Structure 1
Amino acid sequence: MTGPAPVAGRGRSDAAMDPVINPHIPTSEVLRGLLAEAPADCVSFGWLLDKLHKRSFGIVLLLLALIGLAPGTSPVVGLLLTIPAIQMILARASPAFPRIIASRRFSTQRLVRLVDRAVPVLRPMETVIRPRWKTPFDATTRVVGLVVLALTSVFFVPIPLSNIVPAVTIMLIALAYLEEDGVLLALSLAAAAAVLFVATFTIWQSVEAVRFMAS
């Protein structure tokens, strides 16, 4: 994923005197920074999106997928994931949720618990995951949105624990997108293709079994 183009007309000496522009900040540090800025009592989903800026798509996918690991959350999380996924396909600058969702307030302690669950998992992974094999940002955003949208369908499969594999896959995709790691992204997309193949085959087998029993 490529960064901004250099400003025309600036000499080498000027560039050398400048500090590093927009250094890459690990996702775990971004999440910790959210807690430092969060109000003491409660926050809204809209506040969260405003604070994340360009990281909003990736972190929203990551947090929703993390929530999606919990039993009984599959339909709600699957539905919520379709919103940023479609907007990524449309190359929107940041996710926009309906007002009834964006204005939803929840206690800051819930955000703290969610971040406390995510950070210990992210930090060891960030020692290995790093920016490499950079890909065009717009194209990557559209591809990630398309794959996540396809994976959301698995959340509605009425099979116990069927939410875990797509949720973990979306977490890996989101992390690769956030950390600009093309290697992890390629592996995650391959895993997504395998998940979709197995889910499609399982559904087809179930339908065939029902048809056989009904005949």
Structure 2
Amino acid sequence: MDIRPPTSSVLRCILNEAHGEHMTLASMLEALGDRSFGVVMLLLGLLALVPSLSIVTGVLLMWPAFQMIMARRAPSLPRWISQRPLLTARLTRLVDRVVPVLVWMERMVRPRWRTPFESTKRVVGAVIVLLALTMLGPVPFSHVLPALVIVLIAFAYLEEDGALLTIALGAALLSLAITVATVWGTILGIEAID
């Protein structure tokens, strides 16, 4: 049985092996391999927690989520984003800030209850699309729960933790149910006024 290295180690390894002062997002995603979708979702999920960015991030999350549903190997980004040179030193500083948090989380999250990767990818993509749609509403702070659930799903997906992924998908159902109840209550309230 293959031992899956933690994401924190993979990120450090990619930056340690980077040649030159610049690297592109496309080369970094290529090096991440099957983890690339998880990293993109994790970063966008964290950005979605910022109130002023939640709607834009909700739209951006749908792009890789649809690609997951189509079982693409890695997210394909527009060329002007994917080929833009990024300073390796700046990426290293960013990863140095993120890695301690990942290491702390990796103590609790580990590969268990493995699932078929391709079918899991499609299910996760579909759930992310639905959660991203719920972040587009104008209700203040309604983006927080879906964003937190997306972060949880992304981390479970990254580390192939089927147990955590099951919990995260349950939390996604709860988040979607709350959104449906809120919308339904609003519709009933508007009809009662008329």
| TM superposition shift of 1:199 | 1.0
Counterpart-to-counterpart distance in 2, 1:63 and 1:112: 16
SS of match in other structure, 2:171: helix
Equivalent of 2:27, from 39, 47, 61? 47
1:121 partnered with 2:95? no
> What's the TM-score, normalizing by structure 2?
0.87
What does residue 156 of structure 1 align with? 136
Aligned-pair identity (%):
47
Amino acid at match of 2:162: G
Pick closer, same or farther for the CA change 1:109–1:70 going to 2, 3 Å.
farther
RMSD (Å) for aligned C-alpha atoms:
2.3
* Pairing of 1:105-144 with structure 2 (within 5 A): 111-112=91-92, 114-144=94-124
Are 2:146 and 1:180 aligned?
A: no
**C-alpha spacing 1:148/1:113, structure 2 compared with 1 (3 Å):** farther
How many residue pairs get aligned? The number is 194
Q: CA separation in 2, counterparts of 1:38 and 1:159?
A: 43
Q: How does 1:18-97 map to 2 (within 5 A)?
A: 23-37=3-17, 43-97=23-77
Separation in 2, partners of 1:125, 1:150: 26
Measured after TM superposition, the shift of residue 212 of structure 1 is 2.8
What secondary structure sits across from 1:73 in the alignment?
A: helix
Letter in 2 for 1:131: P
Q: Is residue 179 of structure 2 the alignment partner of residue 199 of structure 1?
A: yes
Mapped partners of 2:78, 2:117: distance in 1:
26
Question: For the residues of structure 2 that align with 1:74 and 1:111, how far apart are their CA atoms?
Answer: 24
- The whole-number CA distance in structure 1 between the counterparts of 2:110 and 2:31 is 23
TM-score between the two structures when normalised by the length of structure 1? 0.79
